[in-house]
């Protein structure tokens, strides 16, 4: 279980979402092209030691490999179509209040940190994030850090969305075979295919919007490890197809459809 850190500050997730749309529209040009990736050959991040950059553009056909050091971004970091950002299992990428826009591919085998207050990662419609390590969103800040997915996220590691006030929005597809640990605000407008574990605990809110589909063949645990508080909330306004298990010790408000296996009430 990932260690939790909670704060009392809350924010309006709709205001956060509005800020995301404005920031994305203002900073990111439309880059067309195919979602097929040619093998990137030109290395642009051969730093070798911990390095801070005020933004960077990884062009099509280029790759940024973070191996054995931490790369910190404080500006606008763009990965174009056919560009690749790879973080090895000995590397780290710290988006310290910066803005990352991915049209290509991010492969993480190490650690990605998105924090600092106002940090934003947008995976565009052509983008893929393949996570085999850890992705932390707002893990030690007082909120307002966000990850927004319009493309595809394939998770075999851990995605931690916390603390209260931070947000994770999915408009595209999330394929989860690992763990998504939500301690903040997580809204699904697209599709989640879960064969792993989704934990919604602490002061967390998971909203499955009217267009949202959650195909659950794994486990969804609502406040499973925070039974003293019982504050985990799931608002379902869309469709949850439950072929796995949903364990509820918090609150589930169901205005949509839940099919398949029944919800289990287990607060032991």
SS3 76: strand
Residue 42 CA neighbour count, 13 Å, CB half: 9
Q: Domain boundaries in the chain?
A: 51-255
Query: One digit per residue, pLDDT tens: the chain, 268 residues?
Result: 333 333 323 344 433 444 444 344 334 433 333 344 455 689 999 999 999 999 999 999 999 999 999 999 999 999 999 999 999 999 999 999 999 999 999 999 999 999 988 999 999 999 999 999 999 999 655 668 999 999 999 999 999 998 878 999 999 999 999 999 999 999 999 999 999 999 998 789 999 999 999 999 999 999 855 555 567 999 999 999 999 999 998 899 999 999 999 999 877 6
Place of tokens 């607060």: 267
Tokens of 73: 């971004």
SS3 18: helix
| 62, 44 Cβ separation under 8 angstroms | yes
Q: What's the pLDDT score for residue 266?
A: 73
Among 96, 201, 209, residue whose Cα is nearest residue 192 = 209
């Amino acid at each position: 279980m990932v260690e939790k850190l909670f704060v009392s500050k809350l924010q309006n997730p709709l205001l956060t979402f509005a800020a995301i749309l404005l920031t994305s529209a203002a900073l990111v040009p439309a880059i067309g092209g195919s979602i097929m990736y040619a093998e990137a050959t030109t290395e642009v991040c051969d730093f070798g030691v911990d390095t801070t950059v005020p933004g960077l553009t990884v062009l099509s056909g280029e790759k940024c490999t973070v191996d054995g050091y931490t790369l910190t971004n404080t500006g606008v970091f763009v990965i174009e179509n056919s560009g690749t950002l790879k973080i090895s299992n000995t590397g780290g990428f710290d988006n310290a209040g910066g803005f990352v826009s991915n049209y290509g591919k991010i492969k993480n085998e190490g650690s990605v940190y998105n924090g600092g207050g106002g940090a934003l990662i947008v995976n565009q419609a052509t983008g893929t994030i393949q996570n085999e390590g850890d992705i932390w969103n707002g893990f030690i800040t007082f909120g307002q850090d966000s990850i927004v997915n319009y493309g595809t996220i394939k998770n075999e590691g851990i995605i931690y969305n916390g603390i209260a006030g931070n947000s994770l929005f999915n408009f595209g597809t999330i394929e989860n075979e690992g763990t998504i640990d939500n301690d903040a605000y997580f809204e699904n407008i697209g599709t989640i295919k879960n064969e792993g574990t989704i934990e919604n605990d602490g002061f967390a809110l998971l909203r499955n919007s009217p267009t949202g589909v959650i195909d659950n063949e794994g486990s969804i645990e609502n406040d499973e490890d925070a039974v003293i508080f019982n504050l985990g909330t799931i608002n379902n306004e869309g469709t949850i197809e439950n072929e796995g298990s949903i364990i509820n010790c918090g609150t589930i408000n169901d205005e949509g459809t839940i099919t398949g296996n029944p919800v289990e009430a287990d607060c032991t």
